[in-house]
Amino acid sequence: MSILASLTPPKGLRVLITAGAGGIGQAIARGFAEAGARVHISDVDAAAVDAVTGGQITGSVADAADEAATETLFLQAREVLGGLDVVVANAGVAGPTAGIGNIGAAEWDECLEINLRGAYLAARFAAPEMVASKGSFIAISSVAGRLPYGFRTPYAASKWGVVGLAKSLAAELGPEGVRSNAILPGIVRGPRIEKVISARAAQLGLSFEQMREQYLAKVSLRRMVEPEDIAAMCLFLASPGGANVSGQALSVCGNVETL
């Protein structure tokens, strides 16, 4: 196989993506479908799932933080696809923007439940499938999983946890031929970051544009990441060229220097 050919995932991969109906998840789903994979997505929004599915993409409605719903999701995906080669744990929420003294326990728990428990549940139910296919588990973390992030503590805590989960899974299942990695997106263009910037701007009494410029000033390339950039990294990790990449926290962020 040529080096160039090794950078493309083999056709026919069976891929499950949590929260695959919008944003980064949808870009990942479409990327794998373009590469000839059969893709099953989940999302809590039934209408969003219906809008994305069709052709090589099928879907289920499921809450990533719900144990029974996630188990059912994996059963459905296995039935539809006949097994799994790649699982992308993508589900996540931004959580509150506030000082630690003003973050309620319910807000903290909700962020950790979706971001970290959701990734754990995906890993738990993916493990038998990954071992059977010597597959690839990909957890979507954040640059907040490698940098301190004041006023976003539950989000940062959850994303550091996702990195620990992915690295530990690599050590645990590596002898079975399973690869596990975390991708750390930076400031990804889309509605979620707009809400985060707006919330922080309101907190500091700044305009949205002023806050946006402050965010981008911390990025070496001074630009946002596109959802397709994250999809491209997922495709690489699922390709023959990524066969020896495991246990890594891979930033796709334009080099965020600080948060």
Question: Residue 149: pLDDT band by 50, 70, 90 thresholds?
Answer: very high
Look at residue 170 in the predicted model and tell me its pLDDT. 98
The H or E element that residue 59 is part of is strand 57-61
Q: Of 154-158, 183-187, 199-203, 209-213, where does mean pLDDT reach its minimum? A: 199-203
Give the residue range(s) of CATH 3.40.50.720 domains in the chain.
5-186+226-248
Look at residue 139 in the predicted model and tell me its pLDDT. 98
Token pair, residue 225, equals: 């990441």
Look at residue 112 in the predicted model and tell me its pLDDT. 98
Asked if 61 and 46 count as a contact pair (C-beta separation under 8 A), the reply is yes
Instruction: Write out the catalytic residue numbers.
Output: 155
Question: Bigger pLDDT: 191 or 13?
Answer: 13
> Among candidates 54, 56, 44, which has minimal Cα distance to 20?
44
In sequence order, the 6+-apart residues with CB closer than 8 A to the CB of 209 are none
pTM of the predicted structure, to 2 decimals: 0.95
- For residues 143 and 117, give the distance between their C-alpha atoms in angstroms, rounded to a whole number: 19
Q: Of 7-16, 50-59, 101-110, 193-202, where does mean pLDDT reach its minimum? A: 193-202
Determine the average pLDDT of the residues in 121-136.
98
> Among candidates 165, 125, 118, which has minimal Cα distance to 20?
118
Look at residue 196 in the predicted model and tell me its pLDDT. 85
Amino acid letter for position 20: G
Is 192 a residue whose pLDDT tops 90?
no
- For residues 148 and 18, give the distance between their C-alpha atoms in angstroms, rounded to a whole number: 26
Judging by beta carbons within 10 Å of its beta carbon (0-12, 13-18, 19+), is residue 150 exposed, middle or buried? exposed
Average pLDDT, rounded, for the chain: 97
Angle at 47 between CA 45 and CA 51, to 5 degrees: 120
Determine the average pLDDT of the residues in 83-95.
97
Is 88 a residue whose pLDDT tops 90?
yes
The domain made up of 5-186+226-248 has a fold known as: Rossmann fold (3.40.50)
Look at residue 19 in the predicted model and tell me its pLDDT. 98
Token pair, residue 232, equals: 């491209």
Determine the average pLDDT of the residues in 156-182.
98
Please state, for a pLDDT cut of 90, what percent of the chain lies above it.
96
